[in-house]
């Protein structure tokens, strides 16, 4: 991977979570902090590969790390997902309006059937 591709991957949360394995890591971290060895084992990947994914997630602010004795524990930092949440939230009104229109249509159909 060249430096340009790497920079694109780590530039923001959207690019970081585009990778399915990184989404898997975030999902596991919702339950609490975990060492990289646990994450790697749970996901069936090597520790170096899991560490690379964690580094990307840390660089965009989705994961934090803290030392606990000899272990380094990785935890979710959901604040980094705010831009993703806000972007997705922009579609919520669209979906709500679509469902409202569908509900109105269904009610009209029921009324029409009753009148027949």
Domain ranges of the chain: 3-115
Cα separation, 24 vs 15, whole angstroms: 15
Cα separation, 45 vs 33, whole angstroms: 18
Query: What single DSSP character describes residue 80?
Result: G
From first CA to last CA, the distance across the chain in angstroms is 66
* Fold of the domain built from segment(s) 3-115: Arc Repressor Mutant, subunit A (1.10.10)
Of 94 and 10, the structure prediction assigns the larger pLDDT to 94
pLDDT at 3: 46
pLDDT tens sequence across 29-70: 999 999 999 999 999 999 999 999 999 999 999 999 999 888
pLDDT at 8: 47
Cα separation, 7 vs 15, whole angstroms: 10
pLDDT tens sequence across 72-113: 999 999 888 888 888 888 888 888 888 888 888 888 888 888
């Amino acid at each position: 991977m060249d430096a340009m591709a790497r920079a694109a991957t780590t530039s923001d949360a959207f690019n970081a979570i585009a990778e399915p394995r990184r989404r898997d890591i975030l999902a596991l971290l919702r339950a609490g902090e975990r060492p990289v060895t646990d994450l790697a084992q749970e996901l069936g990947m090597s520790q170096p590969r899991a560490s690379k994914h964690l580094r990307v997630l840390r660089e965009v602010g989705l994961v934090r790390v803290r030392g606990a004795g000899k272990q380094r524990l990785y935890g979710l930092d959901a604040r980094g997902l705010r831009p993703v949440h806000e972007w997705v939230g922009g579609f919520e009104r669209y979906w709500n309006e679509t469902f409202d229109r569908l509900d109105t249509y269904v009610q009209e159909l029921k009324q029409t059937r009753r009148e027949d």
